[in-house]
Structure 1
Amino acid sequence: MKREEVIRLFPERIRKILQQADWNPQGLQEIRLRAGKPLILWQDGQEYFVAEQGFLTRHREQAYIVSQEEIRRTMETVGTYSLYAYEEELKQGFLTIQGGHRVGVAGKAIMEEQKVKGLSQISCINIRFAHQITGCADMVIPYVTEEGKLCHTLIISPPGCGKTTLLRDLVRQISDGWETFPGYTVGVVDERSEIGGSYQGIPQNDVGIRTDVLDCCSKAEGMVMLLRSMAPQVIAVDEIGNYEDIRAIEMTLNSGCKLLATVHGSSIDEIRKKPLLERLMKEHVFERYIILQKETAGQIGKVQEIYDERGTCLYQRQRSVC
C-alpha cells in the first residue's frame, strides 16, 4: 500500500493534512472520521489524533475537527470506487474499495420490514486498511496437516488478534500447496469482504490459485451454495456462531469437505460454554484448535497453544513439549 493510495480517498483539506503527517503505510490500520469530532489515525496498534499542521499527537485539543461536509465528500470519493454495489453494500454498513480496504459507515438507518434497506445522513466513517502477512501461517501448517491430509481446524481468538489474517494465509498455502502437499480446491465464504478483500468480485488479497471466493454472502447460505456449485475440498469461514452456521457446518462435514473456521474466544474452555459449539466439540468435529492471544495492548496476537480433538496440547508457546 502506498501513501498516495490512502490520501486520494479524502477531500482536499484532509488530503493536505495527511500529506504532511508522519505516518507509515505499512503500519497504518485505520483512519476514523466523525462529524464534529477529531480526526483519528491508528498505526501499529496505537491511536493518534491528527493535527491540522500535519503532525500526530496524543493531545485531543490539537486535533483537526472533521466537518459533516468532509464526511459527505469522502463518501462521494470512496463511492466512485464501488458504484456497482454502493447501495447494496451499504446495507451491511460498509464498502470494500480497490486494494481490499474496507470503509465502515454509521448514520441513520433506513428500515423496511424490520430490515436495513440502506443508510442515510452518514456521520461516521472508519477506513480499515488491508494488510496481508504472507507466511504468518507457516508455523501452524505442520499441526493442521497429518499424514498429508488437512485437519478440520478452528481458530479461537479475541477480537483484533489476527484470526482473519491467519485464516487468510492458511487458505493461501492450502490452495497453492507445496512439495509434499497437493493444493486443495478451497471455497471461501467472505461475509464481510475481510478474507479476500474483493473489489468488483476479484479478491485483492492473495488467497491462492485454487480458491473460489463468495463475497458478501451470509456464511450459512454461502457454504451451501459453494457445496452445490464449486465442489470444494475445503470450506473456509470467519466468525461462526449462530444456529444457521452450525447447520451449514454439519452439511459441509457430511459432504466430506474439510473445514477451516474462526470464532471469538480466549480459550477452549470458553468455547465449550457456548451452547451451539459445545456439541461439535463433544463429538470431536474439529481435529485442531489454534488459540491466539494478545500479550500487550496494541499488539497483534500470536499463536499461544494448539490442541487436537481430544484436548491434547500439541504446541505451547515458548515450550517445545506440553
Structure 2
Amino acid sequence: MLKNSRIYDYVVKNLCEELNTILTQIPSIYKEKAEEIRLRNGGPLTISYGARDYFISANGNISCDPSRAVIIREEHIKNTFQLISNYSVYAYEEEIKNGYITIKGGHRVGIGGKVIYGSNGVETIKNISSLNIRIGREVLGVSDNIISYLVKKPRIFYNTLIISPPQCGKTTLLRDIVRNLSNGFGSLDSQGFKISVVDERSEIAGMYKGMAQNDIGIRTDILDGCLKSDGIMMAIRSLSPDIIAVDEIGNKRDVEAINEALRAGIKLIATIHGSSLEEVKNKSSMKELFEENIFERFLILDRSKGVGTIKEIIDGFSFKPIYSGKSD
C-alpha cells in the first residue's frame, strides 16, 4: 500500500501545474496527515487535518496566517477542473449533479458554484467557484479488534449503526468492517458474508472505471453512485446479500428500503451523522427504526484519540455499553 505521503503526491497531480508544484513542496509530515485541499476563488490555498486549516505559500511553506498564502485565481480552478474531469465534463455529468467527481484512487472532489436546475432537478454546476479535494485513505485493520462485538458465532451478524460527527472516520471504519466481514476472519472461524455495498457518494469502494480502488473484500458487490433507497431494493432483488452496507442514512425512503431488506432476512450495517445515541434517536426520520428496535449494535465515534476513535459500542437490547475505547 502506498505510504500516506505518496498518496498525497498522487492526488495533487490532479491539480493544475502551478498548484501541483507548490503543494508538492510542503513538508512530508503535512503530506502524511492532510485530509483536504481547498481551492476557493479569491481565497488562500489551504490544506486541513485534525479540524485545523493550514495555508500554503508560493514556496510550499506552511503557515496559520492566511495573508502569507497563495491566492487562488479563477484559472487555477478552471484548469484543475479540466484535469479532474479528464477534459470531458459530459462524461462526469451524473456525478457533477451530486456535487462531486471521484478521481482515481477513490478520492472525492467536492464542487461549489452556480447550481443549474431543470425539469428533473439539478442538471449541472457551472461557474465553478471552489473545489474541495478530499484525500481518502483506507486504514486496513482499524476494525479488527471490534468485529467480535458485531457477530454472534458462527454466522449471525448484528444489525449495526455507526454514529459519528463529520470527519471522525465513520466511512473508513465502515469500509474496513465490510472488508473483514467479506473476507472472513480467523478468530470467529467465519467463511465470510456476501455483502452488497450501496455506495451513493462513491466513498466506500472508491470505484474508478469499474474497479474498486479500496479493499472492500472478496465477497462484496458494489452499486456505485446509486441512491440508497434504490440500491437497497436492487440488491434485494438481484444480488442475494447476507448483509447490505450503506453510508449516511437519514431520509424516509432510506428507512422504507431498510425495512424491506429486513423483511427479506437481510442484515444491515449503516452510518449516520450524530454525536450521541440520544441525538440520533431524536431524529424524526429514525423514529420508526428505533420503535422497532432494528439496530442491535451502536458504534459511537469521536476524535478523542484521533480520527476513527471508537468511543464505545452500545448493545441494542439493553442500551448499555459493551465496549469502551478508554480500555484500549
Q: Which amino acid aligns with 1:146?
A: K
Tell me what 1:12 maps to. Answer: 17
Describe how 1:122-271 pairs up with structure 2 within 5 A.
122-148=128-154, 149-179=156-186, 180-271=189-280
Instruction: Give the whole-Å Cα distance in 1 for the aligned partners of 2:115 and 2:227.
Output: 20
Instruction: Give the whole-Å Cα distance in 2 for the aligned partners of 1:85 and 1:236.
Output: 27
Tell me what 2:316 maps to. Answer: 309
Tell me what 1:318 maps to. Answer: 326
Instruction: Give the whole-Å Cα distance in 2 for the aligned partners of 1:279 and 1:218.
Output: 20
CA contact (8 A) 1:81 1:97 kept: no
- Once the two structures are superposed, residues 201-243 of structure 1 have per-residue CA deviations (whole angstroms, 9 ceiling, x without a partner) of 2210000001011111110000001111111111000111110
Count residues with an aligned counterpart: 318
Tell me what 1:22 maps to. Answer: 27
Q: Which amino acid aligns with 1:233?
A: D
CA contact (8 A) 1:81 1:98 kept: no
1:102 aligns with 2:108: yes
CA contact (8 A) 1:29 1:45 kept: no
Identify the range of structure 1 (69-78 vs 301-310) with the bigger mean alpha-carbon deviation: 301-310
Tell me the TM-score normalised to structure 2 length: 0.92
CA contact (8 A) 2:40 2:72 kept: yes
Percent identity among equivalent residues?
A: 43
CA contact (8 A) 1:82 1:200 kept: no
Deviation at 1:184, TM superposition (A): 0.7
Q: Which runs of 5+ in 1 are unaligned?
A: none
Identify the range of structure 1 (158-167 vs 242-251) with the bigger mean alpha-carbon deviation: 158-167
Q: Secondary structure at the match of 1:88?
A: helix
Q: Which runs of 5+ in 2 are unaligned?
A: none
Deviation at 1:313, TM superposition (A): 2.1
Deviation at 1:6, TM superposition (A): 2.5
Q: Secondary structure at the match of 2:326?
A: coil
Structure 1 residues 18 and 276: alpha-carbon distance in aligned structure 2, compared to 1, 3 A threshold:
closer
Q: Which amino acid aligns with 1:16?
A: T
Deviation at 1:46, TM superposition (A): 3.2
CA contact (8 A) 1:11 1:73 kept: yes
CA contact (8 A) 1:82 1:96 kept: no
Structure 1 residues 313 and 245: alpha-carbon distance in aligned structure 2, compared to 1, 3 A threshold:
same
Tell me what 2:293 maps to. Answer: 284
CA contact (8 A) 1:240 1:261 kept: yes
1:117 to 99, 103, 123: 123
1:32 to 13, 28, 38: 38
1:272 aligns with 2:278: no
Q: Which amino acid aligns with 2:141?
A: G
Deviation at 1:304, TM superposition (A): 1.3
CA contact (8 A) 2:106 2:208 kept: yes
- Once the two structures are superposed, residues 27-68 of structure 1 have per-residue CA deviations (whole angstroms, 9 ceiling, x without a partner) of 221111011111001245432100012111111111001110
Deviation at 1:84, TM superposition (A): 7.4
Instruction: Give the whole-Å Cα distance in 1 for the aligned partners of 2:129 and 2:89.
Output: 20
Tell me what 2:47 maps to. Answer: 41
Deviation at 1:295, TM superposition (A): 2.3
Identify the range of structure 1 (16-25 vs 102-111) with the bigger mean alpha-carbon deviation: 16-25
